[in-house]
Amino acid sequence: NDSELAGIQNFIRSNDTGVNAELHGKYKGKNVVVISLESLQDFVLGMKVNGKEVTPFLNQYTKQSYFFDNFYHQTGQGKTSDAEFLIDNSLYPTDRGAVFFTNPTNTYTATPSILRKDGYYTSVMHANNASFWNRNMMYPHLGYDRFYNEKDYKITPDTSVGWGLKDENFFEQSVNIMKTMPQPFYNRMITLTNHYPFELDPKDQTIDKLNTGDATVDNYVTTVHYLDQSLKQFIDEMKASGLYDKTIIVMYGDHYGISENHNAAMSKVLGKEITPYEHIQLQRTPFLIHFPDQKTGETIHKVTGDINVKPTILNLLGEDPAKTSLNFGNDMFAPNYKQFVVLRDGTIVTDKYIYTGEKMYDRLTGKELVGQKPPKEDLDKAQKSLKYSDDIISKDLLRFYKIKYDVVDTKS
């Protein structure tokens, strides 16, 4: 009921670290493009195979953007859809199944709903069947005007591989759509080619495979390289279309591509044993924001995660996250931002430690801190964050949130 929500709001308020005042509203009215980079993990950035960079484009682009190199994905079994859920709602996904399937018709206070009242056109682009992950049911409740899906793209045998349309073709057709879209827009784009089992046409393989003997790991670098090159092409197309200077670009790796079943091969790749600490470090996925007028980039080492993306974007566009919606995350650019991330399995990551499987590790050295536990207030905060978010979802508590904007369903 609404008193239960009031309790949760108190918790949220006590963990609110405010916003970056200098950036507040600095990009009001600009377009936003948020790109889901399928299965992309941090460890491939800067890596070389036989002298060739796996991600030459991103290695450059991260230097021209605000790049967060300790961004941890917080997804569960809902994979891509969990990342979408986190990013649009600043709520945690559930611990079993996918919230896109279990609770699509709840009341949400998602970014697109908020931006629509500011005159934004809101959309998602993904060249897959509209019902995959129940997206066509979920998106209207997040406030999307339009879902450009499989039916909106020209897909031929020559332009598809593995799961569907190749990323290069996806981006090319998507930019053509974006040119005619009402502005400003908030548009999410979901890539697909770098998906397990990382298949690629031989002609698109422009980097050598690894040779660990584990096909998944060995092929991964080839589809990552393909994704990287398609992003380069996308940015070039954005520049050519004239949209680039009017658009904030956000990119995030949605979740791991290499599961822990491949730890043996991964320890060959990284040259070290994959301890529980290293396993958590492998859950870092690239996250960057590029501002329309940005001249120089910066790598930010703060510990961050998907939960913080929504408040960060809202602040840039002049919406006060704390006044528009209920968010478990905080603006990552806020001077008082507190480095504290909870993964869906209950793992805690702070600037100082990683607590996982009831073991403590020094976050910087990976050394096990034998016999130590996190401070009680940290354990309490982690547990409450997940529990309160679960309660909001299972009891549809945002029905009681005082909404100052229209969340009427739209047809996708």
Positions 237 through 256 that interact with Mn ion (CB under 5 A)? 254
From 55, 75, 80, 304, the catalytic residue:
80
Given the DSSP bridges, would you call strands 31-37 and 185-190 parallel, antiparallel or unpaired?
Answer: parallel
How many amino acids of this chain bind Mn ion (CB under 5 A)? 4
Q: Which of 132, 244, 400, 405 binds ligand GP9 (CB under 6 A)?
A: 132
Residue 312 touches which member of Mn ion, ligand GP9, none, C-beta under 5-8 Å by kind: none
Collapsed DSSP state (helix, strand, coil) of residue 323 = helix
Residue 285 annotated as part of some ligand binding site = no
Read off the tokens for 150.
């499989």
Q: Give the containing element (helix H, strand E) for 236.
A: helix 215-241
Q: Which of 79, 141, 188, 290 binds ligand GP9 (CB under 6 A)?
A: 79
Positions 286 through 315 that interact with ligand GP9 (CB under 6 A)? none
| DSSP structure string for 298-320 | EEEEEEEEGGGHHHHHHHHTT--
Q: Which of 116, 166, 195, 381 binds ligand GP9 (CB under 6 A)?
A: 195
**Cα–Cα distance, 290 to 250 (Å, whole number):** 6
In the bound complex, what is the minimum distance in angstroms from residue 345's beta carbon to ligand GP9? 17
Positions 76 through 105 that interact with Mn ion (CB under 5 A)? 79-80
The two counts, helices (H) then strands (E), for the chain are 13, 16
**Cα–Cα distance, 176 to 123 (Å, whole number):** 14
Residue 145 annotated as part of some ligand binding site = no
Residue 195 annotated as part of some ligand binding site = yes
* Single-letter code of the amino acid located at 231: L
Residue 306 touches which member of ligand GP9, Mn ion, none, C-beta under 5-8 Å by kind: none
In the bound complex, what is the minimum distance in angstroms from residue 129's beta carbon to ligand GP9? 8
Selection from 143, 120, 125, 116 nearest residue 31 by Cα: 120
Contact 54, 225 (CB under 8 A): yes
Question: Torsion angle, CA of 320/321/324/325, rounded to 10 degrees?
Answer: -170
Contact 287, 271 (CB under 8 A): no
Contact 97, 124 (CB under 8 A): no
CA–CA distances in Å: residue 60 to residues 10, 98, 298, 359, 397 = 42, 35, 12, 37, 43
Could you say whether residue 283 binds ligand GP9 (CB under 6 A)?
Answer: no
190 DSSP β-pair partners: 36
Give the burial class of 279: count Cβ atoms within 10 A of its Cβ; 0-12 exposed, 13-18 middle, 19 or more buried. middle
Q: Which is nearer to Mn ion, 94 or 247 (CB)?
A: 94
How many amino acids of this chain bind ligand GP9 (CB under 6 A)? 9
Q: Which is nearer to ligand GP9, 187 or 325 (CB)?
A: 187
* Single-letter code of the amino acid located at 61: Y
Give the binding range for ligand GP9 (CB under 6 A) out of 60-68, 128-136, 330-338, 350-358: 128-136
Could you say whether residue 325 binds Mn ion (CB under 5 A)?
Answer: no
In the bound complex, what is the minimum distance in angstroms from residue 327's beta carbon to ligand GP9? 24
In the bound complex, what is the minimum distance in angstroms from residue 133's beta carbon to ligand GP9? 6
Question: Torsion angle, CA of 43/44/46/49, rounded to 10 degrees?
Answer: 130
Q: Give the containing element (helix H, strand E) for 188.
A: strand 185-190
State yes or no: is 365 an active-site residue. no
Q: Which of 45, 54, 190, 266 binds ligand GP9 (CB under 6 A)?
A: 190
How many CA atoms within 13 Å lie on the side-chain side of 235? 18
Give the binding range for ligand GP9 (CB under 6 A) out of 5-13, 125-133, 149-157, 224-232: 125-133
Residue 260 annotated as part of some ligand binding site = no
Could you say whether residue 166 binds ligand GP9 (CB under 6 A)?
Answer: no
Could you say whether residue 128 binds ligand GP9 (CB under 6 A)?
Answer: yes
Residue 38 annotated as part of some ligand binding site = yes
In the bound complex, what is the minimum distance in angstroms from residue 80's beta carbon to Mn ion? 3
Could you say whether residue 80 binds ligand GP9 (CB under 6 A)?
Answer: yes
In the bound complex, what is the minimum distance in angstroms from residue 219's beta carbon to ligand GP9? 16
List residues forming the annotated binding site for substrate.
195
For binding to Mn ion (CB under 5 A), which residues are involved? Answer: 38, 79-80, 254
Residues lying near ligand GP9 in the complex (CB under 6 A): 79-80, 126, 128, 132-133, 190, 192, 195
Write out the catalytic residue numbers. Answer: 80
